[in-house]
Amino acid sequence: MGVFLRVLLVVGAVLLVIKLLKSRRKPPEPPPPAPAARPAVKSPAEIVACAHCALRLPQAEAVQAGDGRYFCGEAHRRAAEQRLD
Ligand SMILES: [Zn+2]
């Protein structure tokens, strides 16, 4: 009888340890969501080249002359216009 109780206790203890180990193990974390498309990056189509020095820059930063050409800055726009005169 004593042996039976001891076996029962050991089995119970083993089951308890297994249960504790399983509960301690964290469930697998879901993969992080894919980063959303970066809105700050503009499409390559908006890159223009300076008509004076051929520097490539975003259209938003470029200076556009009256004839539609783009320049990297006001100085190059003026330089190009003076060259035409
Ligand atoms: Zn330029």
> Ligand 1 centroid vs 62 CA: distance in angstroms?
9
Which amino acid, 22?
Answer: K
55 and 72 in contact (C-beta within 8 Å)?
yes
pLDDT tens digit sequence for 21-37: 888 887 678 888 777 76
The domain spans of the chain are 44-84
C-beta separation of 48 from 70 below 8 A: yes
Q: Using the mean position of ligand 1's atoms as its centre, give its distance from the Cα of residue 85 in Å.
A: 18
Sequence letter at residue 58: P
Q: Tell me if the pTM is above 0.85.
A: no
pLDDT at 64 exceeding the cut of 60:
yes
Distances (CA, A) of 50 to 46, 76, 78, 80, 81: 13, 8, 12, 10, 13
- Find the 38 Cα to ligand 1 centroid distance in Å: 28
Q: Between the CA of residue 82 and those of 28, 33, 45, 53, 78, what are the distances in Å? A: 68, 54, 29, 15, 6
**5 CA distance to ligand 1 middle (Å):** 91
